[in-house]
Chains A and B, each alone.
Chain A
């Protein structure tokens, strides 16, 4: 059974650009969550999607957005990149409510220069 797949693994972007990160959840999992991990702020919740609907959103500016497709794959977009957006972005999936725990991908390391 394939795990959670995130692409790309590494990304370097310039300030002001936009970026799209992709996440394919475990087959059958309908919930996808996104987290930002930085040395200073730790792991912070971005948003969660279930059946193509955003169910919950963290405290991030509107430059951060996401969506989920009918096959449960999810994308996260960050527009007008800032140096502070440099982070490891982790995607996690679960069957439904997530109370059984999330399965995480290996993340996308985004560097903004």
Chain B
């Protein structure tokens, strides 16, 4: 069974600084997808970034980037120039085809301080 581990329950960062959230996963599959989702107090899960396991290049979306280490089964999220609106729960997720069930980590609560 695939498991996703987020070892940092809470983190904080000063506005405009950079923060990295950690995620590790366990799988014997070779083809899969990894995601970071953000859940603000509004409750809606928002897709931040995705990575295809067969692509070696790390995904980037504006201020968000990942460090994908397939051999180490590690998928960390880096947020640059942190903004107050980045305050939220962040979930790392794993999915393999054809299951279509997304497995989530326990989440990291990120607080951006002014």
Contacts and interface: CB of A to CB of B under 8 A. Distances in A.
B33 A99 contact: yes
Contact-residue size bin, chain B (C-beta under 8 Å from the other chain): 20 to 34
Given A42-B106, A42-B107, A100-B50, A105 B44 contact: yes
Nearest to B42: A106
Contacts of B98: 55, 97
Contact of A103 (B43, B47, B52, B100): B47
B45 interface: yes
A70 B33 CA distance: 29
Contacts, number: 57
Interface in A85-113: 88, 90, 92, 97-107, 109
B91 interface: yes
A58 interface: yes
A65 to B, nearest CB: 17
| Chain B interface mostly | loop
A98 B100 contact: yes
Interface residues of A, number: 26
B78 interface: no
Contact of B100 (A55, A88, A104): A55
B88 to A, nearest CB: 13
Interface in B23-70: 33, 35, 37, 42-47, 50, 52
A48 B101 contact: yes
Given A48-B100, A100-B50, 8 more contacts: A35-B102, A48-B101, A55-B98, A56-B99, A97-B97, A101-B47, A103-B47, A107-B44
Interface of B: 33, 35, 37, 42-47, 50, 52, 91, 95, 97-107
Interface of A: 31, 33, 35, 42-43, 45, 48, 50, 55-56, 58, 88, 90, 92, 97-107, 109
25 contacts: A33-B102, A35-B102, A42-B105, A42-B107, A43-B91, A43-B104, A45-B102, A56-B100, A88-B43, A92-B102, A97-B98, A99-B33, A99-B52, A99-B97, A101-B33, A101-B47, A102-B47, A102-B102, A104-B44, A104-B45, A104-B46, A105-B44, A106-B43, A106-B44, A109-B43
